[in-house]
């Protein structure tokens, strides 16, 4: 048996979102994935994966790796933002992320 394909949680979430959109129809997922390979169609992270990775996602034989830097920031910020009522803190976080050009779903996107 070969080595498991390693994917980030972000890729798994994008795949699951696409699968949910098509109500579990994996053939529709493959079709949409092939359409997403065209850069002008979408900014989905799925356009960066290859066929072997998609197959591993479909058969649930992939290994989820540690969080990406963006996922780590989002996780930490969501904890801090929930526990903080300081609006200056919130503004500082959003300003910093926007200045650095970092877009994190659920935080500043």
Read off the pLDDT of residues 32-79 as tens digits, 9 standing for 90 and up.
888 776 666 677 788 888 888 888 998 888 888 877 777 777 777 766
Sign of CA dihedral 31, 35, 41, 44: positive
Whether pLDDT at 17 is above 70: yes
pLDDT (tens digit, 9 = 90+) per residue, 88-99?
777 887 888 888
What pLDDT shows up at residue 87? 72
Query: Which helix H or strand E contains 63, and what residues bound it?
Result: strand 62-64
CA atoms of 24 and 89, how far apart (whole Å): 41
What pLDDT shows up at residue 82? 59
- Structure token digits, residue 46: 């799925």
Domain boundaries, the chain: 5-64, 69-100
What pLDDT shows up at residue 99? 87
What pLDDT shows up at residue 83? 61
- Cα angle vertex 102, ends 97, 103, to 5°? 100
Look up the pTM and report it: 0.56
């Amino acid at each position: 048996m070969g080595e498991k394909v390693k994917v980030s949680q972000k890729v798994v979430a994008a795949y699951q979102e696409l699968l949910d959109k098509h109500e579990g129809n994996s053939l529709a997922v493959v079709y949409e994935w092939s359409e997403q390979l065209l850069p002008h169609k979408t900014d989905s992270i799925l356009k960066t994966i290859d066929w072997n990775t998609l197959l591993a996602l479909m058969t649930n034989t992939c290994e989820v790796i540690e969080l990406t830097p963006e996922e780590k920031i989002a996780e930490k910020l969501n904890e801090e933002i929930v526990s903080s009522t300081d609006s200056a803190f919130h503004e500082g976080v959003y300003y910093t992320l926007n200045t650095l050009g970092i877009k994190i779903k659920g935080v500043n996107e």
